[in-house]
Structure 1
Amino acid sequence: MVTADDKPTYRVIDNREEYLSAVEKIAAGEGPIAVDAERASGYRYSQRAYLIQVFRRGAGTFLFDPPAVGSFAELNEAIKSTEWVFHAASQDLDCLREVGLDPELIFDTELGARLAGLPRVGLGTVVESLLGVHLAKEHSAADWSTRPLPDSWLVYAALDVELLIDLRDAVAALLEEQGKSEIARQEFADVLTRIARPSSRGEGWRRLSGVHSVKGGRNLAVAKELWEARDAFARETDIAPGRLVPDSSLVAVAKALPANKRELAAIKEFTGRASRSELGRWWDAVEVGLAATELPSLRTPGGDTLPPVKAWSDRNPDADRRLKAAKAAMTELAEELTIPLENVLTPVVLREISWDAPDPLTEEGVAASLAQLGARPWQIEASAHIIHQAFVEAMQEPEQADETAS
């Protein structure tokens, strides 16, 4: 464990001249490149990177200030074809792409650890398990938009990447030993190509925590207007919405339906740093909701087109039997492969193919449906036969029951 006396010091690169010099050094290094990014989630509205860490053997560790550096096009051009190593790449790719960093090949130690069957895959746990190094995570939820960044934060940020290459080698060895290297390759490639599904336009307010407890179209209209007013103000000030007024406060107002600004101010659950300083803003939103002529639907439009699984036995008994049989069979497969069930095949894919099974029901048809639903080749090869067999057996159950009854 690194002690306070032998911790190195780091400085942040915050100008183009030093940045371009760092690009040359990184390009001259050797082997994979470890990359990490720190955001200010919970503090800022944006999900931009406020610190980008890069480590490469033969080059060293580099900490960049993205707002100050600007475009990272030169660095991307120098290293884009090299393997980039992340821990949970899906969390960082969007903010890296915002500044021009877009890898062509990645190794994800978090996802690799999942595929290798490790029970816990947080960075600190995996590093300690495979490398024997204790990695403190006391600054993981810090406000990385802070300037200047404290020295202790910089040491924490640097360690996140300085250990990643060794961790990558350890995870790769585990995957190779278990015969899962090709599985990992396909999964890493999928992370790079996966496109985040955008939220339905105008329906972001439905993500309001606790909105499910708001009953009535008029109440939902007020909740919607309050959420949109807060979202606009948060974007304008680049402050996390919940730090202005928490979700619970908006829900409390939507339930209460205050008749005037005084009643709004009197709601004791209506708290937050901007609840009173921006009272006029919130009352304007409440008024719009109270006067709305088109009220929001009580049900979420779009989204998952399938009904809740608990309703399947009534609405589609055949699909219910298929899903139960396939899930049991896939659980056995996941245990055999020592890979979490959700990584062997995502639950939504299993539900989709169970609800609308291929007709005629053949193994080839199951494989084609899985491919259409986005399953990777290794997943199809491992599960198509098993799912087909489970579906066949599930469909035989009512036939056998009819024969017994007759």
Structure 2
Amino acid sequence: MDPAGFSQYYEDLSSAVLRVSKTAGYLAGEDLNFHRTSSAEFSKSLDEESERILALTSAVIKAANAGTDLTGPTLQDEDSIDDNWRSVVDVIDSLLEKADACLDEFTGVIKKLSPSQEEQAQAAPAKKGPAFPTIYDYGPSKIPKPQLEFERKPDSTDMSPFKPLLKSKPHAIVPLEKSLKTKKIDGVEAYPHPYETEIRESQYPEPVYQVSPPIDYLPFESTTATFVDTLDGVKEMLEELKKAKEIAVDLEHHDVHSYHGLVSLMQISTREKDWVVDTLKPWREELQILNEVFADPKILKVLHGATMDIIWLQRDLGLYMVGMFDTFHAASALGFPKRSLKFLLSKFVNFEADKRYQTADWRARPLPTGMFDYARSDTHYLLYIYDRLRNDLIEDSTEEASKIDYVNEGSKKEALQRYERPVYDAANGLGPGGWYDLLWRNPGNFSKEQFAVFKAVHQFRDQVARAEDEGWQCVYPKHMLFKLAQTMPLDLGTLFRTLSPMTPITKERASDLLDVIKQAKVDSIDGPEWRDIAPPKHVFKAPEDTTPQSDPSAPVAGRCETSQFWGDVLKAKEPSLPIANTLSALAEATRISLPLPPMPTTISEPQEQLITASAPAASQTPPAPAPSKPEAPKYFTVKDLGGPRKRKVTPIDNPEQALSTTADLDDTSNPDVIQVSSKKSRKDKKKRKEEKKEEKARKAKAEAEAPFDYGAADAVLNAPSAATATQPRRKAFNPYAKAMEAPSGARKIKRDETGKSLTFRQ
């Protein structure tokens, strides 16, 4: 159809559908059964129209299924609509997906698979489009899988050790043939890192250790990057890279519609030029020729957060980094509050990266302008940022601790990583993508059956993702795993409701998934529970059998070796020499200022042993000569330095004794006098306390010997009587005495009234 006439056709179709919908809604609101009984002719006409509409609907469904694997239902009556409603919805979903794909092709987001448009796309790689492809869900891929065109297609079901893709080894110290021989690594037969020796023995260029003015970057607006999508373009770029002293490298990765993931773009920048390399070409492994630069220790490679970049380069392209500088470690050494590339761009360049493109589908070709510029900006400013960070690192370094060496060593450790294929451990759930870590971070109150179902559906998801070369989320996402384990559906209806909306990959295998759930419930009878599963070594550490039980330092069973939140920051570590000296000096200063006795290591250890153990250190020093005057005690308390306590004045009959006591109290310079007087005062105080106690006992005994005369006593309800020789004067009984002692209530707040004033007296 001509696009110019589509708008008029769309308006006519919409108005016709609207009229039919209004009429149907009006009829549905009336009593059709009443009209059927009132007129046989109307009833017959209504049945004919119903059959006609059902026949048209069946024909439309059949036309929509043409060229697909779907088989549409045949609608014969009203009940068949309810019975086959799910199939009708599937047809509508398929139509909407086709419409989305057509709109993407029309807007230029996805190129049509025709030679003419392929050439046009290569001629204009940065053609601007009204939108960019973004990963919003995990439905069917709207872009054809590029991995199907690779010369070496990825095999997600291969569990053998990963063999490096290297065909040659530039700048080698160890020959390639020797580097590709397997050996035992952590108890497993695997291939070693082919550039391990070269990375460990590499020396960074001298400019890395020298402060120099930063070299300004070229203006972003007035320059552009070269899009490299041919092998000849790669070779031309390589010749220019060999002349550079520093280069910046970054990658864009896609891991939704691929089990292992795909390196979709590689950005490379020098001081003068930027390149964006298409790494989805069938000849992508020919990019190994870049090892002539990447493995050259004389050319510095600057990356940011290269942990995953190193893995992806080995896995997909066979590229290795020798002489790498990671700006993430530089930001960590300088103590920046944030270490992301976005923060460094904002801090040093005042450039705000558009992070909307982080969720973009980098497989799209041609690249929209926004995505192209975003990819280029990751490396365009990185060499200038490196200059600034290098100068700061050198200036903040000391003779004892060099921060530039710290960054270089951390970068070497990143470059020494080896890629290993993820092997699924169904029994223990360990390894990348295993079920154990998923349950550990999202604990649930699972029964034995639910736990068995969770493990089974988790393994089913991994198997399907490997077979289809899709991400796990494209089968069903993480939260659906827990829903399946909790619900444990046993029929298709419950399964569809549990996994709604269900992905097409799972829909094709719905019956297989039901069989897996049923078998898991049967196997759970003899299976373990979640709480009975032993934790892996990286979560808990069991004590050694040779450790004696009496050893207090022995590890305790079930105790975490590292914290899930803090990591290993609380683990005791051996401090470096400058830090150890500083801590020792602080400890000595604290010991002198706060003389505390040594603490026992256990509760049962006697304090005398610690004092005795610390005594030999003091006895080794030669004895000092006796001083002429008594020295003040080394250890003192506030009580020792304070003045004499206040004492109560006691009567002294003998005047000479009074003068002697006064003289003794005034002689504060003599500690013996103060000590004697304090002992005498404590003795007098104890004597007075005993005399008071004896007097109180005598009074109690006298009262007990004189019996109370109840006949002569006045009644408590009568008026108070006069005191006699034997009976004291008694008060009259007041039943409201306790009530009068109750606390008074809160005062009533005086409210101000309008028109009145108050006068205060000063």
> Is TM more than 0.5 here?
yes
Q: Could you tell me the TM-score, scaled by structure 1's length? A: 0.72
**Paired residue type of 2:527:** L
1:14 aligned residue (210, 213, 229): 229
Task: Give 1:216's aligned residue.
Answer: 447
- Given that 2:304 and 2:328 are in contact with CA atoms closer than 8 Å, whether structure 1 keeps it comes out as yes
Task: Give 1:234's aligned residue.
Answer: 465
Structure 1 residues 158-167 or 39-48, which shifts more?
Answer: 39-48
CA 108–255 in structure 1, closer or farther in 2 if over 3 Å, else same: same
- For structure 1, which runs of at least 5 residues remain unmatched after alignment? 309-314, 321-326, 328-341, 355-365, 368-378
Q: Secondary structure at the match of 1:140?
A: helix
CA 26–387 in structure 1, closer or farther in 2 if over 3 Å, else same: same
Q: Deviations over 1:370-401 (max 9, x none)?
A: xxxxxxxxx755667789999xx9x9553588
Looking at structure 1, the residues matched to 279 and 481 of structure 2 have their Cα atoms a distance apart, in angstroms, of 34
Q: Secondary structure at the match of 1:64?
A: strand
Task: Give 2:405's aligned residue.
Answer: 182
Looking at structure 2, the residues matched to 387 and 206 of structure 1 have their Cα atoms a distance apart, in angstroms, of 41
Q: Deviations over 1:14-47 (max 9, x none)?
A: 222222222122223x221111011114454323
CA 252–183 in structure 1, closer or farther in 2 if over 3 Å, else same: same
Looking at structure 2, the residues matched to 288 and 389 of structure 1 have their Cα atoms a distance apart, in angstroms, of 67
**Paired residue type of 1:206:** Y
Task: Give 1:32's aligned residue.
Answer: 246
Larger radius of gyration: 2
CA 301–270 in structure 1, closer or farther in 2 if over 3 Å, else same: farther
Task: Give 2:267's aligned residue.
Answer: 53
- Given that 2:465 and 2:471 are in contact with CA atoms closer than 8 Å, whether structure 1 keeps it comes out as yes
Task: Give 1:193's aligned residue.
Answer: 416
Higher relative contact order (CA 8 A, sep 6+): 1
Q: Secondary structure at the match of 1:33?
A: strand
Instruction: Give aligned-pair identity as a percent.
Output: 21
- Aligned pairs (5 A) from 1:5-404: 6=221, 9-10=224-225, 12-28=227-243, 30-58=244-272, 60-68=273-281, 69-71=283-285, 72-81=287-296, 82-98=299-315, 99-179=317-397, 180-194=403-417, 201-202=425-426, 203=429, 204-208=434-438, 212-213=443-444, 215-267=446-498, 270-274=500-504, 275-292=506-523, 295=527, 298=530, 299=533, 301-304=535-538, 306=540, 318=553, 347-348=567-568, 351=571, 354=572, 380-381=576-577, 396-399=599-602, 402-403=605-606
Looking at structure 2, the residues matched to 398 and 389 of structure 1 have their Cα atoms a distance apart, in angstroms, of 22
TM-aligned CA deviation for residue 53 of structure 1: 0.8
Looking at structure 2, the residues matched to 349 and 283 of structure 1 have their Cα atoms a distance apart, in angstroms, of 46
Looking at structure 2, the residues matched to 133 and 23 of structure 1 have their Cα atoms a distance apart, in angstroms, of 29
Q: Could you tell me the TM-score, scaled by structure 2's length? A: 0.40
- For structure 2, which runs of at least 5 residues remain unmatched after alignment? 1-219, 398-402, 543-549, 556-561, 592-597, 610-762
Looking at structure 2, the residues matched to 237 and 83 of structure 1 have their Cα atoms a distance apart, in angstroms, of 40
CA 288–318 in structure 1, closer or farther in 2 if over 3 Å, else same: same
Looking at structure 2, the residues matched to 176 and 34 of structure 1 have their Cα atoms a distance apart, in angstroms, of 21
Task: Give 2:6's aligned residue.
Answer: none
CA 178–224 in structure 1, closer or farther in 2 if over 3 Å, else same: same
Looking at structure 2, the residues matched to 7 and 154 of structure 1 have their Cα atoms a distance apart, in angstroms, of 15
CA 94–382 in structure 1, closer or farther in 2 if over 3 Å, else same: farther
**Paired residue type of 1:164:** L
Task: Give 2:209's aligned residue.
Answer: none
TM-aligned CA deviation for residue 161 of structure 1: 0.6
Q: Deviations over 1:1-25 (max 9, x none)?
A: xxxx947554532222222222122
CA 318–97 in structure 1, closer or farther in 2 if over 3 Å, else same: same
Looking at structure 1, the residues matched to 585 and 378 of structure 2 have their Cα atoms a distance apart, in angstroms, of 45
Q: Secondary structure at the match of 2:254?
A: coil
Q: Secondary structure at the match of 1:54?
A: strand
Query: Higher helix proportion, which one?
Result: 1
TM-aligned CA deviation for residue 158 of structure 1: 0.6
Q: Secondary structure at the match of 2:301?
A: strand
Looking at structure 2, the residues matched to 270 and 404 of structure 1 have their Cα atoms a distance apart, in angstroms, of 69
